[in-house]
Amino acid sequence: MNLTLRVWRQKSPEDKGRMVTYRVEDVSPDMSFLEMLDVLNERLILEGDDPVAFDHDCREGICGMCGMVINGVAHGEQVATTTCQLHMRHFEDNAVITIEPWRAAPFPVVKDLVVDRSAFDRIIQAGGFVSVPAGSAPDAHSLPVKKVDADAAFDAATCIGCGACVAACPNGSASLFTAAKITHLSLLPQGQPERDSRARAMVEQMDAEGFGGCTNTGECTAVCPKGIPLDTIAQMNRDYLKASK
């Protein structure tokens, strides 16, 4: 495959940034999107140019590090797929592909396609934990959990914190991420002691970071690679309203 890439290049947070066009040839359809960028970077390095900076780690769709807007869609147009698991066979030969970083005020660009997502870390630090007394692990099944609650908690816990929900939301809201972290703990017995304080602290930290409010547009769930359902936000709002009273 031969491709034309329009890539956002930005040297530093202070740099204005611009779109730069590159031609990449002989791309295997079996390559992942990141492997295709590796090919581009190898060529740029050999030519003495600065390689395109982008986040990546596991490349298995579980760490949440990779994240970029591909042709206007966070992680690309494949449903429930991270950028690292997106393969080039989903693109046409001679396609023009536009690649940009996450766009949100709380996610400032560090360089090229790399953004600072430490705002997510501070939301987690505000309340994403449970009280666990010291000692040995409890016996299995000593805390019964309804299957419907266990399933819902597991669905919420699959959030990998990639930030696609923020990038896709027209309001730049982190409600789906925050709701997933609140909900997967609030549905389990271990999360009950801090349930009220957790909801208040994490929602207030989300607002303090400058994320927008949720207006139920649903773009977040559409691009979420783990398919976090929209009703987790409703669960978060219930917990926050109850805690506020």
Q: The CATH number of the domain where 49 resides is what?
A: 3.10.20.30
- What mean pLDDT do residues 35-47 have? 98
**Does the predicted TM-score (pTM) go above 0.85?**
yes
Closest by CA position to 49, among listed 14, 22, 18: 22
Residue-wise pLDDT for 144-174, tens only, equals 899 999 999 999 999 999 999 999 999 999 9
What CA–CA distance (Å, rounded) separates 109 from 1?
A: 30
- Both 239 and 121 in one domain: the answer is yes
| 106 inside domain | no
DSSP annotation of 87 reads B
- If one counts the domains in the chain, the total is 2
7 belongs to a structural domain: yes
Residue 113 CA to residue 67 CA, distance in Å, equals 8
Looking up residue 146, the CATH number of its domain turns out to be 1.10.1060.10
By CB atoms closer than 10 A (0-12, 13-18, 19+), residue 243 is middle
Partners of 126 in the β-ladder: none
Residue 116 and residue 102: Cα distance in Å, rounded? 10
Q: Is the dihedral of CA 85, 91, 93, 98 positive or negative?
A: negative
Range of the domain at 27: 3-100
For residues 80 and 130, membership in a common domain is answered with no
CA torsion 85→81→235→191, rounded to 10°?
-20
Residues 90, 12 share a domain: yes
Mean pLDDT score of the chain: 95
Domain co-membership, 59 together with 134: no
Shared domain for 182 and 211, answered yes or no, is: yes
Q: What is the pLDDT averaged over residues 32-37?
A: 98
Residue 142 lies in a domain: yes
In this structure, the answer to whether residues 121 and 94 fall within a common structural domain is no
pLDDT band at 140 (very low <50, low <70, confident <90, very high): confident
On whether both 91 and 170 belong to a single domain, the answer is: no
